[in-house]
Amino acid sequence: MVEADAEVIAELATQLGYPNEIEAIHRRICPIGEVDLLLVAADGSDKPVGFIQAHRVCIIEVGLRVEILGLVVSSTARRKGIARTLIEEVELWAKKIGAEFVSVRSNTKRAEAHFFYPAMGYEQIKTQAVYEKRVGGSEQQAARGK
């Protein structure tokens, strides 16, 4: 992913229910460094049709792992193996950096995801509540789609 992808990333994020301004996405791409993997999938005409973001994290009680933070495929390009390919790339990266597990969180309202991830070999390991507290400006608000 490069800064020039900001427009299509904003569009894809909106399809997932997270409307964002292009400039906000542009600013977020820049600081993502070596602990993250950002990939964009393109179709045959080189038009971006999906993206995935994964993060390397070392959690003291469970060790080094990779967490998929975001996965979006354009509604016009779904069911063509794009998400599967993006996840396989994340899994290869995880192995390369020595992570033992790849995890992903999925909102309960994303019914298709709850069939897709198990089909990819992922097991549901827990159900949890997610809490947040606003500590900054409007960029966090935009990221949540409010």
Tokens linked to 132? 């947040």
What is the predicted pLDDT for the residue at 136? 87
The whole-angstrom separation of Cα 92 and Cα 94 is 5
Residue 143 pLDDT grade (very low, low, confident, very high; cuts 50, 70, 90): low
pLDDT above 50 (res 146) = no
Cβ–Cβ under 8 Å, residues 64 and 98: yes
- 32-46, 76-90, 120-134: the lowest-pLDDT one: 32-46
- Which pTM was predicted? 0.77
More confident residue, 138 or 88: 88
The proportion of the chain whose per-residue pLDDT surpasses 90, expressed as a percent, equals 37
CATH architecture of the domain with residue range 3-143: 3-Layer(aba) Sandwich (3.40)
The whole-angstrom separation of Cα 110 and Cα 26 is 26
The proportion of the chain whose per-residue pLDDT surpasses 70, expressed as a percent, equals 90
Q: Which tens digit of pLDDT belongs to each residue from 96-119? A: 999 999 999 988 888 888 899 999
What is the predicted pLDDT for the residue at 118? 94
How many other CB atoms are there within 10 angstroms of residue 9's CB atom?
25
For 25, 35, 36, 82, 127, the CA distances from 97, given in Å and listed in that order, are: 26, 10, 11, 23, 28
